[in-house]
């Protein structure tokens, strides 16, 4: 039995001008919409996230409490639930899946929320990594609809260095002889393992390995951690889905599109939402410096970086209790005003 709902969008014209045929968004809601419809929190999904994995960011004892808020957890395109290379037809399967931007994701999410759920105001959009990138996108694309945002370990625009990091993990994946330009008959297991192994070195900080914090995650050695990352990507991820989302990630820029025409500062200045930016100083690819630059142009913003040896994965539910406590504190600050 499915634990999510589906919103059929029909054929969607993408920012590129191409058509995503028979597009669909999957999502799950938690809690109850109040009479004034002002208790809505939107949680997009992160790179290897799903609506289910978002459940680690909220609960009855958390700042985002389903007893108080109406939570909408939305699967981004390419994650295997919403329209993705592995579930599309009409000659858009596998490597033929069209390139999707965050503009496309948020345009469709806005249709889901306004047309299907009949909601016109959002109290908070928040999320980790690519989900945080979508929070910026929401605030820039629909500035009058979003009251507050809290992107954590994220950025409004993918930096050149972040782009290069992604080229590395992508190269590891497609080097598999079974890759066949995405037309594989069986999963490119060697490539998926290489992808996971390379990615693990970026997901955590140098301090994480120096201090052997992998032992706190249940691994005796770094090699055990690497093998776990290999197995996770082989068991849980389609290679074309991973690559489709990398394209989305690399193209991330809230100024892309007809509103701001690549004027990044203008896009940042357009954000009306109360904003808390929460980078991790030890994140190896979403750098605090990028958030510092963004905060100069987002009028109602506060920069609240945090230190964690877990690096980018400090935000992964269960890894760093201090990060979780600070995240909830920051969310409460936005929601209580």
Give the DSSP per-residue string, 244-280: HHHHHHHT-BTT-STTTTT-HHHHHHT--SEEEEB-B
Q: Which two tokens stand for residue 201?
A: 């070195």
212/279 same-domain check: no
Q: Which two tokens stand for residue 115?
A: 């047309």
What gap in Å lies between CA 249 and CA 40, rounded to an integer?
26
Domain-ending residue, one of 214, 246, 278: 246
What gap in Å lies between CA 324 and CA 25, rounded to an integer?
28
Question: What is the per-residue pLDDT for 90?
Answer: 82
Q: Is residue 5 classed as helix, strand or coil in its secondary structure?
A: strand
Residue 269 CA neighbour count, 13 Å, CB half: 7
Give me the CATH number covering residue 277: 3.40.50.1820
To the nearest whole number, what is the mean pLDDT of the chain? 97
Question: What is the per-residue pLDDT for 1?
Answer: 72
226/259 same-domain check: no
Question: What is the per-residue pLDDT for 201?
Answer: 97
Q: Is residue 136 classed as helix, strand or coil in its secondary structure?
A: helix
DSSP H or E stretch at residue 291: helix 288-295
109/241 same-domain check: no
176/260 same-domain check: no
Confidence of residue 23 (pLDDT cuts 50, 70, 90): very high
Q: Which of 175, 187, 137 is nearest to 294 (CA)?
A: 137
- Report the domain count for the chain: 2
17/99 same-domain check: yes
Residue 281: Cβ-neighbour burial (10 angstroms; 0-12, 13-18, 19+): middle
pLDDT above 80 for 21: yes
pLDDT above 80 for 117: yes
Question: What is the per-residue pLDDT for 313?
Answer: 98
111/9 same-domain check: yes
Give me the CATH number covering residue 227: 1.10.1740
pLDDT above 90 for 124: yes
Confidence of residue 2 (pLDDT cuts 50, 70, 90): confident
145/258 same-domain check: yes
Q: What is the DSSP code (8-state) at residue 99? A: P
The residues, any chain, with a CB within 8 Å of residue 292's CB and separated by 6 or more, are 303
pLDDT above 80 for 16: yes
Phi, psi of 326 (to 5 degrees): -70, -35
Question: What average pLDDT does the segment 99-124 reach?
Answer: 98
pTM, 2 dp:
0.97
pLDDT tens for 236-287 read 999 999 999 999 999 999 999 999 999 999 999 999 999 999 999 999 999 9
Domain-ending residue, one of 179, 211, 246: 246
* Residue 270 belongs to domain spanning: 5-157+252-335
Q: What is the DSSP code (8-state) at residue 114? A: I
Question: What average pLDDT does the segment 68-85 reach?
Answer: 98
100/223 same-domain check: no
Question: What average pLDDT does the segment 183-208 reach?
Answer: 98
pLDDT above 80 for 337: no
Question: What is the per-residue pLDDT for 215?
Answer: 98
Question: What is the per-residue pLDDT for 57?
Answer: 98
pLDDT tens for 276-322 read 999 999 999 999 999 999 999 999 999 999 999 999 999 999 999 99
Q: Which residues pair with 7 in a beta bridge?
A: 25
Domain-ending residue, one of 246, 262, 288: 246
220/73 same-domain check: no
Question: What average pLDDT does the segment 72-99 reach?
Answer: 97
Question: What average pLDDT does the segment 102-111 reach?
Answer: 98
């Amino acid at each position: 039995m499915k634990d999510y709902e589906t919103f059929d969008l029909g054929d969607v014209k993408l920012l590129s001008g191409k058509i995503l045929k028979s597009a669909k968004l999957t999502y799950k809601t938690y809690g109850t919409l109040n009479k004034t419809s002002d208790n809505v929190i939107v949680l997009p999904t992160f790179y290897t996230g799903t609506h289910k994995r978002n459940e680690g960011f909220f609960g009855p004892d958390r700042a985002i409490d389903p007893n108080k808020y109406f939570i909408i957890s939305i699967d981004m395109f390419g994650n295997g639930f919403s329209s993705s290379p592995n579930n599309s037809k009409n000659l858009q399967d596998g490597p033929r899946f069209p390139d999707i931007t965050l503009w496309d994701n948020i345009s469709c999410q806005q249709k889901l929320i306004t047309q299907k759920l009949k909601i016109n105001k959002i109290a908070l959009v928040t999320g980790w990594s690519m989900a945080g990138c979508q929070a910026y996108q929401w605030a820039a694309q629909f500035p009058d609809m979003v009251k507050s945002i809290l992107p954590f370990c994220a950025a409004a625009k993918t930096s050149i260095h972040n782009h290069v990091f992604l080229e590395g993990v992508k190269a590891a994946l497609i080097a598999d002889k079974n890759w066949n330009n995405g037309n594989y008959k069986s999963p490119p297991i060697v490539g998926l393992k290489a992808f996971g192994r390379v990615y693990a070195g970026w997901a955590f900080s140098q301090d994480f390995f120096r201090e052997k914090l992998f032992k706190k995650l249940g691994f005796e050695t770094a090699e055990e951690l690497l093998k776990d990352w290999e197995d996770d990507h082989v068991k849980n991820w389609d290679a074309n889905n991973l690559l489709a989302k990398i394209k989305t990630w690399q193209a991330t820029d809230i100024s892309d599109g007809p509103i701001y025409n690549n004027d990044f500062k203008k896009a940042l200045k357009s954000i009306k939402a109360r904003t808390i930016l929460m980078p991790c100083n030890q994140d190896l690819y979403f750098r605090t410096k990028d958030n510092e630059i963004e905060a100069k142009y987002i009028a109602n913003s506060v920069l609240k970086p945090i230190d964690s040896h877990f690096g980018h994965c400090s935000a992964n539910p269960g890894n760093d209790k201090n990060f979780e406590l600070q995240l909830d504190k920051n969310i409460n600050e936005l929601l209580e005003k």
